[in-house]
Amino acid sequence: MLNLGVLASGGGTNLQALIDRSEAGTLAAKVVVVISNNSTAGALERARRHAIPWYHLSRATCGDEASLDAAMCETMQRHGVDLVILAGYMRPVGPGLLHAYPNRVLNIHPALLPKFGGKGMYGIHVHEAVLAAGEKTTGVTVHLVNSEYDRGRILAQRTAPVMPGDTPESLQKRVLAIEHEIYADVINRIAAGEIRL
Ligand code: GRF
């Protein structure tokens, strides 16, 4: 059983998918702590509803980047986190956390990296860019996080078709459903030793 520490800034549907699978017994892991930089994140409300310890940690609550990084490390370690799971986390991860969890920080990206990654490529902007480029296929990438944005080792990818008449919103919905499956699959494969970190 792996202990997951989830970082999320937004609504938290990926967090919810992990909680649901854990409660249903289909995930070889448990969300033990949720941290958000955004005090009004839906993800924190989801943690609260499931009685999972949660924290609002940001530059505002911690003072500066180095103190924020240290607080994140301390919180993850105090809760016995094995894997740090970024699920819609809109900030860079600090060097201290990356050092404390080498090859143990995962992110999910709503496109087939290395395409449609990097600065400015988040949320609905990714799907807008995919449509603007006339792609016929998009998808999801789960990758390790390192100090270079969206450039860590790719652990898994799954494709989704782009349909005629798609809007960024319709594409986002199709891709999000795949995100919810693939993140759990990757975590299960890590737990089973099929993916080595
Ligand atoms: C997802 O599309 C994820 O790939 C991206 O941010 C979004 C988060 O969605 N990194 P949610 O908050 O999990 O619903």
**Ligand 1 and 121: CB distance under 6 A:** no
List Cα–Cα distances, 14 to 84, 87, 136, in angstroms: 14, 6, 25
pLDDT of residue 148: 79
Distance 188 CA to ligand 1 centre (A): 19
**Ligand 1 and 117: CB distance under 6 A:** no
CA distance 125 to 170: 13
Residue of 121, 120, 94 lying closest to 109 (CA atoms): 121
pLDDT of residue 164: 96
Distance 167 CA to ligand 1 centre (A): 17
pLDDT of residue 59: 96
Q: Whose alpha carbon is nearest atom 12 of ligand 1?
A: 12
Q: Whose alpha carbon is nearest atom 14 of ligand 1?
A: 13
pLDDT of residue 26: 98
CA distance 103 to 147: 11
pLDDT of residue 41: 98
Q: Whose alpha carbon is nearest atom 1 of ligand 1?
A: 88
**Ligand 1 and 46: CB distance under 6 A:** no
CA distance 1 to 38: 29
pLDDT of residue 151: 81
Strand partners, 36: 56
**Ligand 1 and 12: CB distance under 6 A:** yes
Domains assigned to the chain: 1-102 (3.40.50.170), 106-197 (3.40.50.170)
Distance 123 CA to ligand 1 centre (A): 7
List Cα–Cα distances, 51 to 54, 56, 74, 91, in angstroms: 9, 15, 20, 25
Helix axes 13-24, 168-191, angle to 10 degrees: 40
Mean pLDDT, contiguous 10-residue spans, the chain (197 residues): 97 98 98 98 98 97 97 98 97 96 97 94 96 98 88 96 98 98 98 97
Known catalytic residue: 109? Answer: yes
140 is written with which tokens? 């999801």
Q: Is 175 left (phi over 0), alpha (psi -120 to 50) or beta?
A: alpha
- Of residues 79, 99, 109, 127, which has the active-site annotation? 109
